[in-house]
Chain A
Amino acid sequence: MSNALPGSSPADRAASSKPELTAADMLRYGGAALVCVTLLAGAWLLQTTPGRGASAALSLLIGAALGVAFERGRFCFFCIFRDFIEQRNAGPLYAILTALAVSGVGYAIVFGAFLPNPASGRLAPDAHIGPVSPALVVAGLAFGLGMALSGACISGHLYRLGEGSGYAPLALIGALIGFGLGFRTWNWLYVAVIADAPVVWLPHWIGYGGSLLLHLAILGILAFALLRYIPPLPPRPARKLDITYLREAIFRDRWNPLVTGALVGVIGVAAYLRVEPLGVTSQLGSLTRTVMAQAGWLPARLNGLDSFAGCATQVVQTITDNGWLIAGLALGSFGAALLAGRFQPAWPRAGGSVTALLGGVLMGWGAMTALGCTVGTLLSGIAAFALSGWVFGAAVFAGVWGGIALRLHRWT
């Protein structure tokens, strides 16, 4: 996990560890151990529930793995985009490219087993392949602006919850409100632009092999073009590969973007193979939908919504697999942050609170309208060779760029 790419500036590295353990260290290690025990015990308890127990337990652990990878690699779409836009540092972007490349390979393998003939006109089961409409572009732009306003995307806020961020809860509450607005505007958008929008799935035309080749070629070209935006590497002293080095590389220093990206890609494939494609908004949207349904605020019928694959929402009385994934994500990030000394709870400031909430609203509306966020629609969509993933990704990037140009991100 060395810094072959300068994803982390030298400042990201904590001061070298002190030899003796302080009381605070004991508290941190104890806390991390407790998180581990909680996750394992939780998974064991879920697994014994009859019915869908195994997938709930697996979702919790997949979420935890994702939380650790996100926290250790700072896999925050906003920070990654901002580093490139503001500092012309493309290093962290390689985490996203690697995640897409690895998960693309994995998805092609899984697709071959799930749907041997992609030309049949059927889509791979529950893969995040969505309609490509103007609404998707607007949703992506709104989502990007919301990221700039609130300082992170939805998955970013979820893992920052584990780092003790004071803005994360506000942004997530804002996202719930945004989801509500999304449900209110859905019927109108559906009839106006979404119903007739094409659902473009590359393997339908060029098969899995062709899609994967094209997928890797595009990512390769992007990676090649971005090479010139990598700042010079900091000098690294020769070190012995011993237990201290490993501990620091794994638990203290920011992970190399390539390692982080590859892990996120593998986790994404595991999730699709065993439970459902990665996504972090399905449970949030379902929560809003359930509350609105009970309060009578939901339109009596959400046209066509439940026929699309994506971070599907439903009126539920229980915690879905996706809910366990989110819980695992926050807990995993919390454990990793404790070990790294990055758990620093802070109260939000008033001005920042308002923008975090507003940004959350924009992201919630965008994620509802686009049927997912940067994880569900961008990562899981592009990995599934869906055009909707690329379109949403480009729109989000443009939205973040616009938000930074307008200096919206200075508030939080």
Chain B
Amino acid sequence: MDRTLLRTAGAAVVGALVTLAIVAIFSSARPQPAAPLTVAPTAPAAPAAASSPREPRKFEDVVVSTEWLAQNLDNPKVRVIEVSVVPGVYERGHIPGAVNFVWTTDFVDTVSRNIIAPERFQELARAAGINNDTTIVLYGDNNNWFAAWGAWVFRQYGAEDVRLLDGSRSKWEAENRELSTRAPTYPPGNFTVRQRSDLRVFLPDVLKVVRGEDNRVLVDIRSPDEFSGKIFAPEGFQELAVRAGHIPGAVNIPWKKALRDDGTFKSVEELRQLYAEAGIDGSKPIITYCRIGERASHTWFVLSEILGYQAALYDGSWTEYGNSVGVPIANPAGTIWGVK
């Protein structure tokens, strides 16, 4: 056989082996993921997380404009997070530097019906380069529905500075602002979960209100037809309750009323008036709920974060309440399951 050919082949094999060796060394030297941190789900909340509402913050400190965000994209103290419902929306172009949080896996437990476990959440937040003093700005599609849900989870786990992008993703797009398809990487942050218990309520808490043992007020943010019991759920939604109507004593203020036509929040004064007209003026603690808990987090954000009222979210919402046995229900429309 031709010697030159043999030599060439030999060189090629050696080259391939060297390349393999280099790849092997580099891949084994890659930083290993940090050992999971354990925070007991039932650990008593740190005393720092007080249960009293904090001082109302300025509107600009909880809702940021697209202009502010555009100027702060390189600010190392600011971390932008996208929470969109439609798959592929973040990947095909997000606000430069924004981290993707998927609501079905990163904010909820995938097995039991619950929010994400604190230790897992802490891992995700640290991987996104979030520290305890980071300003977290959330945005997403669908009028920030799940961005607001994300804000609620962040606040529950002790993040202090959590803001929403006014007008959601659609305003940023409508203004033809910069988008990027590159997934960012950040050095790990040191975010430590400090669980608060005052932003979330469960069925027994709601029943106390219904029985008059608690002076909280209930805000149902679903459509008037769901509230009255004419329909079980809007068309196309799979999650249902076997009873129609609402929790007795709740007032109905659809979530969208907090927004202007262009999707931005109404002014603080307009918002205060909107809820005051329905008797929600912040003098009593508030519980918001909807069907599965996500739209109600939008109203929770308005009441708790923008207006500074003491408000909690009942994330079990109507799909838990309307399916529960033996609970009192208000059903003005008289719709009965399975019977005409």
Closest to A55 in B: B92
14 contacts across the A-B interface (CB closer than 8 A): A51-B170, A113-B91, A113-B182, A113-B183, A114-B88, A114-B181, A114-B183, A125-B88, A125-B91, A126-B87, A273-B181, A276-B88, A309-B87, A315-B236
> B residues engaging A (CB < 8 A)?
87-88, 90-92, 102, 105, 170, 174, 181-183, 185, 236, 238
Q: Indicate if the CB atoms of B88 and A126 lie closer than 8 Å.
A: yes
Closest to A120 in B: B105
Is A19 part of the contact surface with B, judged by Cβ < 8 Å? no
Interface residues of A in 95-147 (CB under 8 A from B): 113-116, 122, 125-126
Is A274 part of the contact surface with B, judged by Cβ < 8 Å? yes
Q: Indicate if the CB atoms of A50 and B92 lie closer than 8 Å.
A: no
Closest to B89 in A: A125
Q: How far is the CB of B111 from chain A (nearest CB, A)?
A: 14
Q: Indicate if the CB atoms of A115 and B91 lie closer than 8 Å.
A: yes
Q: What are the residues of chain A within 8 A of B88 when measuring CB–CB?
A: 114, 125-126, 276
Q: Indicate if the CB atoms of B87 and A125 lie closer than 8 Å.
A: yes
Q: What are the residues of chain A within 8 A of B185 when measuring CB–CB?
A: 116
A122/B102 contact (C-beta < 8 A), A50-B174, A276-B88, A315-B236 known: yes
Q: How far is A354 from B185 in the complex, measured between Cα atoms in Å?
A: 58
Q: How far is the CB of B95 from chain A (nearest CB, A)?
A: 15
Q: What are the residues of chain B within 8 A of A113 when measuring CB–CB?
A: 91, 181-183
Please tell me which one of the listed residues B87, B92, B170, B236 contacts residue A274 in the complex, with CB atoms under 8 A apart. Answer: B92
Q: How far is A240 from B105 in the complex, measured between Cα atoms in Å?
A: 61
> Would you list the 9 A-B pairs with minimal beta carbon distance, nearest first?
A125-B88, A114-B91, A125-B87, A126-B88, A116-B183, A125-B91, A113-B181, A126-B87, A113-B182
Interface size on A, residues (CB 8 A): 16
Q: How far is A113 from B93 in the complex, measured between Cα atoms in Å?
A: 10
Interface residues of A in 293-313 (CB under 8 A from B): 301, 309
Q: What are the residues of chain A within 8 A of B183 when measuring CB–CB?
A: 113-116
Q: How far is A126 from B174 in the complex, measured between Cα atoms in Å?
A: 24
Q: How far is A276 from B181 in the complex, measured between Cα atoms in Å?
A: 14
Residue of B90, B91, B105 with most chain A CB atoms under a 10 A cut-off: B91
Q: What are the residues of chain B within 8 A of A274 when measuring CB–CB?
A: 92
Q: How far is A251 from B185 in the complex, measured between Cα atoms in Å?
A: 47
A122/B91 contact (C-beta < 8 A), A50-B174, A113-B181, A113-B183 known: no
Q: Indicate if the CB atoms of B105 and A122 lie closer than 8 Å.
A: yes
Q: How far is the CB of B5 from chain A (nearest CB, A)?
A: 19
Q: How far is A114 from B238 in the complex, measured between Cα atoms in Å?
A: 29
| Proximity string of chain A (355-391) to chain B, C-beta cutoff 8 Å, 1 when within and 0 when not | 0000000000000000000000000000000000000
Q: What are the residues of chain A within 8 A of B102 when measuring CB–CB?
A: 122
Q: How far is A44 from B91 in the complex, measured between Cα atoms in Å?
A: 25
Residue of B87, B174, B238 with most chain A CB atoms under a 10 A cut-off: B87
Q: What are the residues of chain B within 8 A of A51 when measuring CB–CB?
A: 170
Closest to B181 in A: A113
Closest to B170 in A: A51
Q: How far is the CB of A170 from chain B (nearest CB, A)?
A: 33
Q: What are the residues of chain A within 8 A of B87 when measuring CB–CB?
A: 125-126, 309
Q: What are the residues of chain A within 8 A of B90 when measuring CB–CB?
A: 125
Q: How far is the CB of B272 from chain A (nearest CB, A)?
A: 31
Q: How far is A273 from B102 in the complex, measured between Cα atoms in Å?
A: 19
Q: What are the residues of chain B within 8 A of A273 when measuring CB–CB?
A: 92, 181
